[in-house]
Structure 1
Amino acid sequence: MLKKQGFVFLLMAFLLILVNPMKSSAEIVDLTGGIKNEYTYEEYVFILGQPMHFTAKSKDIKVTVSEKKDKITETYKIKMNSTNGATLDRTVTYTYNVSNYDAIGQSTATGEVTKYSEKIKYQDATIELKDYQMSKSHITDKRPASDYTSGNSVVRKTYEIKYKGGQTQNVIVHGSGKDASYENFWGAAETQIMEYTFEYPNDTVGTVTSRVSYTKSRTLNYEENLGSLASFEGGYAVNSESDTISQYVYDLPKESGTIEFNAEYMPKVERLIVPKFRDLSAHWAKPSIDKLYSLGIFDDKANFFSPNTPMSRYDFAVAIGKAIDLRVEVGGTTKKKNSAPTIFKDVKRTRPNYEYLVAAYNKGVVNGVNATTFNPEGNLTRQQAAAMIVRALGMEGRAPDPGYTTSYKDDHKILNYARDGVYVITQLGIMNGSQGYFNPSGTLTRAQAAAIIERVLEYLENDLKQNYRDDILFFEY
C-alpha cells in the first residue's frame, strides 16, 4: 500500500526544444534527464524519496512537428512502465515563436506549453499534474561551420496525489536550468543542466539536479586491406556514433544519492574512396592529404599532388568550404553550366568548384584582395589561412578588443585584417608559430595547408565535443 504520508518526489517533465530551434530531432527528449536510443527510452522519477525507473519502447514515443511561418508546434506522447507496476502517461504540446535576424545570422525561439497532461498510477494512488507554467528561450548563432545555441528554462508545476480513501496532497516543483549546444557536419553536442526544488505538505524540501548530455560524431579510421595482393593497401572509413549520458544527484527527505546511466546508438560505417597519389609515399603529410582526398575535400584528378608547391588562394578557399560542409547551389534545372553570380572579375564562373567560392564569400569566410579581385592563383600566406579558418569557425569575435598585440615576436608584421585570426587560431591550437615567430607573410605549401585543414576537422570533431560535454559537466558545475 502506498501510504498517504509518503509524498511523491517527482521530477518535472516537459520536452526540450531542439539544439537548433528550427529543427525537430532532439536527442535529449526532455528536461527530466531521460535518455534514448533507437530501441528504448528511460528516465527516473522519485516516489517516496527513492528512485523509480520508467522505460518505454521507441514505438511508444510519438512525435509530431508542424511549422507555420515563424511558429513551430511540437506534440509528444509517451507511455512508460516501471518494474514495480507503476504506469506513466504524458502528452505535451509546445508552441515556439521564432524570430530570425538574418542580417547577423542569429535566431531566437521563445516557447510555452499549450497543452500538458501527465498521470502516474501506482498502487492505491493516482498522481496527476494540475497546474503548469513554463518559460523557455534559446538563441542560436548560425556560423559558417557550426550553429551554436544557448538556452534557459524556468518551470513551476503542481501535482495532486489522490488516494482511494479520498485524501489528497499537493507537491509543488520549481525548476530552472541552462543548456548549450553546437551542431555541424562533423558532430554535435547538447548538454543540459536542470535544478529542481520540491515543496511538500509537511514543509520539508528536497532537491534534484539533472545533468544530461548527447553527442554525435563522425571520425575517420584507417582500415588495412586484408588482401596483400590488392591494388591498394587500405583506405579510410567514416564511423558515425552517438550516445547520451545522464546523471541525477538527489537530496530528498527520505534518501540521498547519485544515479548515472547511458544509452548508445548503433554505430554506422561508410568506406571512402582510396587516394592513389604517386608522390606521397614517404612524405610527412601523406596521412593528412589522404584523409582530405578520401573525404572529397581535395579532388585532384591527377596522380600527383605536388605537396611541396605553394597552395593557391582559390584551392584553399574551396577546401575550407568543403571541410565545413558549406551548402552550395550548382545550377538546378537551368541549362547554363553554372548559374552562380560573378563575384570577382578574375575568377570565371565555369571554374571547377566555383560554387564553393561563392558560398564562402557569401558566408564571410573569404574576401578578395580588393573589392573586385580575388587573385585565385596567388600563393596562400599564413595570415590569410588563419583569417579564413577563424572566419569559417565563426570565432573571430573571441579575440580581445582592438589594440591588442599577440605574443609573437613579429607581431608588428601581422596585417590588421588577419590579427584576430592569428590570435584565435593560436589559442585554438590549429596553427602555431616557430621559435616565437608566426611568419604571417610566409607561403604555405599544399602539404602544410592539408595538415592545417586536418586540424580544423579535429577541432570540429573532438575539441568542441569535449568543451560542450566534459568541460561543462565535470569542470564548470
Structure 2
Amino acid sequence: MKKLAAILLALITFTPNVAYGAQGDIGYFGGTSPGYKLKSVAEAANPNAKPVTKYTLPYKENIYLSGKAVSVEGTIELKPVEIDFTENPIGSYKESYIITAESDDGTSQIARTVDFNTNYIYDAGTQQLTKSSEITGWTETVVVEGITYTLDQELSSFSKSLLEDRAPGVNYYSGDIYYNAVYTDGAGGDNNVTMQVDARVYGYDQAFAASEVQRRNISIDTGTNQYYIEETPTYTTYRDMLYSSNEPQAISLAGNYKEIARGSGIIQYNVLLGNDELQPEDAVGTIIIEDSPRLEQLPIPYLSQLMGHPAKSDIERMYSMKVFDVNPRGFSANQPVTRGEYIEMLVKALQIPIPATDDKKNPLPEGLFSDISIEHSLYPYAVAAYNVGLIQGGSVNPYEYLNREQMYVFNIRALGLERLGLGADSNYTPFLDDSKIADYAKNSIYAANKLGIIPFDGGYIFPDKYVSYADCAAFLNSYFDYLRYDLQKDYNQYMLF
C-alpha cells in the first residue's frame, strides 16, 4: 500500500491486508481444473463468511512417460492459507496438493501428494508480493498402461517462484516453475526415467473472474528414448449474469437477473518428439474439463419511473448486484453521482475488504480524511479504498459530483493498468477534445481507450461532464463485462497454440 511511513506504522495493526497463500487451482504438474467458484453476491455481502480451508476440484492431466499423451481424470485437493502480509510482511506458510486420477479404461493412474514450504516477502512501496516455494514432501506413483513408475524423492527436485502485483481491484501474478522428476524404470530396466519441466506461469484473480495459464516445456529421458512435449494448461472461472423473464402473466415479477458461476479448464498439447508408434493425428490435442454451474437469483426493485428509459436494464443490473442502493422510490436516472457514492460502488462491486465498524480490538483508524468523520456512513468504504490504494488520504470530496475523467481514473487505477497509457501521444488520440483532459487523467484515459472500455460520442469524450446514474450504470456494466470476459483473453485464448 502506498502510504506515508508514519501513517503505515500507525495503521499496521488496524488494516490487515489478507491474501490467500495459494494460486494453484490447477496445480503445477500440467493438469487443469475448472477452478474454485468465486464469491456470489450474497457471500460477498456477508461479513461473517468464514474463509475456505480446503476444497476439492475436478481434475484432468496427461501422462507422457510412454512417449504419447495418456489422459487421466480425477480430483485435486487444495488447502489454501490466509496470510496477513501487512502485519507480517515477511513470513512463510505451508501448501498442500493431493491429486488422484485414472484413465477411462483403468490402465493408467496418478497418485500424487505434494507439500511445499513457501516463503514470502511483501514490498509495501510496490505493493508486490514475492513467493518462493520448496518441496518438503513429494510422493508419486504413476501407472501408464499397466506399467508402474515410482518417484524417487531424493533424486527429484522442484522450485517454484511467483511474483504478485496487487492492484486495488485485481491481483496479478507471474512466475516460473522448474522441476526434475526421477522415476524408477517401470519396465524393469536399469535406467531411471527422468522428466524435466520448465514452465512459465501467468494469472490473475478478482471479484468477477480468475484465470491462469502455464506454458510448459517437458523433456523425458527413459535411458533408451527421449521425448519432448509442449503443453499449455489453463483455467478460467467467472461470474456470468443473465436476465430471465417470467412466463406466467399473472405474476408480480416480470423477471429478474441471475448470476451463474462457471468454470472450465483446457490443456492443449503437442508431442514434438514421441515414441515410434505415435501417429501424427495423436501428437496434437486438446483436453477440456468443466464443472456444474452455481446459480444465484438476484432481485430487481420496481422502478416504474424507468419505463422506456434506454438505461433501464443497466440500472436494474446495478441494483441486482447491490452496487446501487438509492431508495428506488426516489431514484432519478439523471441525478449526478458523487465521488463518495462512486467510491462506495467500486468497493462493493470489486469486493474490497471493508473494515468492521464494531471491532474493538481493531477499531477504525481516525484522522485519515479531513472532510469525512469516522461516524460518516462512507468512512469504512473510504478506509477500504485507501487501504488498497484506490484513493489517497486527505480530502475525499465525497459530495463533489463525479465527472468522466475522474471515473476513468478510478476504474483504471482499480485495474492497475495505468502503464498502458504511458507514452501515448496526445496528438494521435481519437478524442477531438483531448486538450480538455486534465494532465493527471491522460494516462488512465489513454489506457482505457486501449482496453476498449471507454465510450466516446462522435469523437468526443467530454472529460469534464458530470456522470449521471444512467451514465454510471452503462459505464460500469461495460467495465464489469471487461472484468468478467475480456481480461481473460490475454491469459488463455491468445496464449493457446
Counterparts of 1:335 and 1:36, CA distance in 2: 39
Corresponding position of 1:364: 389
Counterparts of 1:431 and 1:259, CA distance in 2: 38
Letter in 2 for 1:30: Y
Corresponding position of 2:247: 226
Following superposition, the deviation at residue 293 of structure 1 comes to 0.9
Maintained 8 Å contact 1:36/1:42: no
Q: What CA deviation, in whole Å up to 9, does each residue of 1:65-116 have, x standing for no partner? A: 6789721222334444442534543332222111111232110111122332
The partner residue of 2:296 within 247, 257, 270 is 270
Counterparts of 1:309 and 1:50, CA distance in 2: 63
Letter in 2 for 1:23: G
Counterparts of 1:320 and 1:66, CA distance in 2: 26
The partner residue of 1:258 within 284, 301, 305 is 284
Q: Tell me: CA distance 1:78–1:293, structure 2 relative to 1, closer, same or farther (3 Å).
A: closer
Which has a greater percent of strand? 1
Counterparts of 1:103 and 1:240, CA distance in 2: 35
The partner residue of 2:136 within 107, 111, 114 is 114
Aligned to 1:259, what secondary structure does the other structure show? strand
Counterparts of 1:381 and 1:67, CA distance in 2: 38
Counterparts of 2:373 and 2:113, CA distance in 1: 56
2:352 is the alignment partner of 1:323: no
Corresponding position of 1:471: 494
Counterparts of 1:318 and 1:65, CA distance in 2: 29
Maintained 8 Å contact 1:63/1:75: yes
Letter in 1 for 2:258: A
Maintained 8 Å contact 1:35/1:43: no
Maintained 8 Å contact 1:137/1:151: yes
Following superposition, the deviation at residue 289 of structure 1 comes to 0.7
Letter in 1 for 2:410: M
Corresponding position of 2:420: 398
Letter in 1 for 2:59: Y
Q: How many residues align?
A: 445
Corresponding position of 2:44: none
Counterparts of 1:278 and 1:35, CA distance in 2: 44
Maintained 8 Å contact 1:161/1:168: yes
2:118 is the alignment partner of 1:96: yes
2:206 is the alignment partner of 1:184: yes
Counterparts of 1:123 and 1:223, CA distance in 2: 48
Corresponding position of 2:50: none
Following superposition, the deviation at residue 400 of structure 1 comes to 1.7
Maintained 8 Å contact 1:88/1:119: yes
Q: What CA deviation, in whole Å up to 9, does each residue of 1:201-225 have, x standing for no partner? A: 34x4321112111111111111212
Counterparts of 1:253 and 1:311, CA distance in 2: 65
Maintained 8 Å contact 2:65/2:144: no
Q: What TM-score does the superposition give when structure 2 sets the normalisation length? A: 0.81
Q: What TM-score does the superposition give when structure 1 sets the normalisation length? A: 0.84
Unaligned runs of 5+ in 2: 1-17, 36-55
Aligned to 1:112, what secondary structure does the other structure show? strand
Greater alpha carbon shift after TM alignment, 246-255 vs 216-225? 246-255
Maintained 8 Å contact 2:168/2:414: yes
Q: Tell me: CA distance 1:215–1:184, structure 2 relative to 1, closer, same or farther (3 Å).
A: same
Letter in 2 for 1:285: A
Q: Tell me: CA distance 1:246–1:104, structure 2 relative to 1, closer, same or farther (3 Å).
A: same
Letter in 1 for 2:107: G
Q: Tell me: CA distance 1:122–1:275, structure 2 relative to 1, closer, same or farther (3 Å).
A: closer
Counterparts of 2:231 and 2:440, CA distance in 1: 44
Maintained 8 Å contact 1:34/1:44: no
Following superposition, the deviation at residue 373 of structure 1 comes to 3.6
Counterparts of 1:372 and 1:122, CA distance in 2: 64
Letter in 2 for 1:54: V
Maintained 8 Å contact 1:320/1:453: no
Q: Tell me: CA distance 1:381–1:198, structure 2 relative to 1, closer, same or farther (3 Å).
A: same
The partner residue of 1:387 within 409, 422, 433 is 409
Maintained 8 Å contact 1:160/1:171: yes
Maintained 8 Å contact 1:31/1:194: no
2:173 is the alignment partner of 1:149: yes
Aligned to 2:191, what secondary structure does the other structure show? strand
Maintained 8 Å contact 2:68/2:275: no
Q: What CA deviation, in whole Å up to 9, does each residue of 1:255-277 have, x standing for no partner? A: 25123221111111111122222
Unaligned runs of 5+ in 1: 1-19
Greater alpha carbon shift after TM alignment, 116-125 vs 273-282? 116-125
Counterparts of 1:318 and 1:435, CA distance in 2: 31
Greater alpha carbon shift after TM alignment, 151-160 vs 65-74? 65-74
2:313 is the alignment partner of 1:287: yes
Q: Tell me: CA distance 1:395–1:66, structure 2 relative to 1, closer, same or farther (3 Å).
A: closer
Maintained 8 Å contact 1:246/1:260: yes
Counterparts of 1:221 and 1:35, CA distance in 2: 24
Letter in 2 for 1:431: I
Following superposition, the deviation at residue 330 of structure 1 comes to 3.3
Counterparts of 2:424 and 2:250, CA distance in 1: 60
Following superposition, the deviation at residue 33 of structure 1 comes to 2.7
Counterparts of 1:344 and 1:76, CA distance in 2: 44
